[in-house]
Chains A and B, each alone.
Chain A
């Protein structure tokens, strides 16, 4: 991507992200959302992170799935998941992830 393309891309990213941010604050006011929509929104974060995590760890059909016990991305995710579930702390999760990934790469 050229310099200008990246600038255009950043502008597009601003637009597609600002819509979700401004709608409830400036447009919807305090009117409640339709029930099904608010329930759907409640499940979007967990679904999106689940999808991103699985794809990052196990790959995809194009680059080839990585379902194996020697998959370092998968093995390192186990301690991260335990620490994240216990502490709910982003910084600890990242530090443990980097340490586990680095260590596993030294020995596998």
Chain B
């Protein structure tokens, strides 16, 4: 067990767990409002495990959207995890298929950010076992925080506007991780503008899906290749 859970792992994971408390609780409160109980919330947090994806799915469930548009929208929002997998591959491609199948489920913005930084530190002795330990602790704390949110939401009155603003603030925080060049910021603004424009003709978040696909194509077309993620 010491190979998976040790002081170095705890030191790396605590900021993620700390951040997951307000976020997970807010997500659980929203879940409770749209009809999820503690069991369903735990299932969602185990099998979907995606902060922004869960918020979007819950908001769409609350709005009465059908299952298929929800599944497609969240799938598009989570396409970015493919990029993370491509970058993580260099560190874990020698592990067993089972290890990689489990690791895949644990890829989220936060675990990717911390693991890739730790793997890249020359003297940190970070390895796939420590990464797996970190992933497990992060996933568990997310699940517990969302279940706590459901229980809290059913016990006390909490302003829905405030909860949904936590989501907007999280989107802005996640967006800021990509403020690495003017083109990256510009494509985000383009995606936003297109989504507003397309809402004249498309709904059920389809405007967001189409705006994302189109804006990212424009980004790929204007990118001169200098900024390709280093492998």
Q: Give A contacts to B, CB under 8 Å.
A: 1, 3, 5-26, 28-30, 32-33, 35-36, 38-58, 60-62, 65, 73, 76-77, 80-81, 84-85, 88-98, 101-102, 105
Instruction: Fill in one digit per residue for B43-73: 1 if any A CB lies within 8 Å of its CB, else 0.
Output: 1100110101100110001001001101110
Please tell me if B144 contacts chain A, counting CB pairs below 8 Å.
no
Residue of A25, A35, A42, A80 contacting most chain B CB atoms (<10 Å): A25
The total number of A-B Cβ pairs within 8 Å is: 300
| Nearest CB on B from A94, distance (A) | 5
Are B85 and A23 within 8 A (Cβ)?
Answer: yes
How far is B177's CA from A60's CA once the two chains are assembled, in angstroms? 26
Instruction: Pick the contact of B79: A8, A25, A41, A90 (CB < 8 A).
Output: A41
Instruction: Pick the contact of A45: B83, B92, B103, B203 (CB < 8 A).
Output: B83
Are A11 and B85 within 8 A (Cβ)?
Answer: no
Task: Point out the residues of chain A lying under 8 angstroms from B56, CB to CB.
Answer: 52
| Nearest CB on A from B22, distance (A) | 6
> What is the interface size of chain B, counting residues whose CB is below 8 A from a CB of the partner?
99
Task: Point out the residues of chain B lying under 8 angstroms from A48, CB to CB.
Answer: 76-77, 79-80, 191, 208, 212
Instruction: Pick the contact of A10: B40, B88, B165, B189 (CB < 8 A).
Output: B40
Closest 7 CB pairs of A and B: A97-B169, A43-B219, A54-B192, A16-B75, A50-B188, A24-B85, A93-B173
How far is B223's CA from A16's CA once the two chains are assembled, in angstroms? 28
Task: Point out the residues of chain A lying under 8 angstroms from B219, CB to CB.
Answer: 39-40, 42-43, 46-47
A55-B208, A97-B169 given as contacts; is B188 within 8 A of A20 (CB)? no
Task: Point out the residues of chain B lying under 8 angstroms from A19, CB to CB.
Answer: 75
Please tell me if B32 contacts chain A, counting CB pairs below 8 Å.
no
Are A13 and B168 within 8 A (Cβ)?
Answer: no
Of B3-11, B104-112, B118-126, B147-155, the one with at least 4 CB within 8 A of chain A: B104-112
Given A12-B71, A102-B162, output 7 extra A-B contacts at Cβ < 8 Å: A1-B35, A13-B48, A16-B72, A21-B78, A51-B211, A53-B192, A98-B22
| Nearest CB on B from A101, distance (A) | 4
Are B195 and A54 within 8 A (Cβ)?
Answer: yes
How far is B61's CA from A5's CA once the two chains are assembled, in angstroms? 10
Residues 192-228 (chain B) with a chain A CB within 8 angstroms: 192-196, 199-200, 203, 207-208, 211-212, 215-220, 223, 225, 227-228
Are A13 and B200 within 8 A (Cβ)?
Answer: no
A6-B36, A33-B86 given as contacts; is B223 within 8 A of A43 (CB)? yes
Q: For residue A52, which residue of chain B has the nearest CB?
A: B171
